[in-house]
Amino acid sequence: MPDNQNEPILPIPSDLYLEVGAVQDQLEDLQRKLLDLQQRYHELGQSPRSLDVDNLGDPISPLHATQNTEGWLASADSNLWRASEQLSRARGYASRLRLTAQACEEREQQLSHRPPIERTR
């Protein structure tokens, strides 16, 4: 790496790896929430006589509205599952990255020569 004051300070690959894992955890949490919503809409669909719909568009039955809602939630879940799989693959490659000894030294030098951040109100 050239000795350049304008050179960006490289992120630490293991930190990035952990961030990808955090995103994957968030996706899994979203998937749990979507599954819960699907189940609750399914429960609504079991009692169509207790439901009504507005008259703001094409006519639709409450059962059809709940089924469509469940279907779109399932589609969103499927997309999140694919995203989770892709993140898992990305983590597999990310886990293999590290900075060279020279890059670590240069990073430390850049950090130690960085001017202090002035805080203003």
Token pair of 117 as six digits: 């951040």
**Residue closest to 28 by CA, chosen among 72, 80, 89:** 80
pLDDT of 14 above 80:
yes
Domain ranges for the chain: 13-112
Number of neighbours of residue 12 by Cβ within 10 angstroms: 14
Task: Report residue 5's pLDDT band, with 50, 70 and 90 as the boundaries.
Answer: low
pTM of the predicted model as reported, rounded to 2 decimal places: 0.74
- Dihedral sign, Cα of residue 81, residue 87, residue 90, residue 91: negative
Angle between helices 62-94 and 13-45 (to 10 degrees): 160
pLDDT of 1 above 50:
no
**Residue closest to 90 by CA, chosen among 11, 9, 31, 16:** 16
pLDDT in tens, 34-80: 999 999 999 999 998 999 999 999 999 999 999 999 999 999 999 99
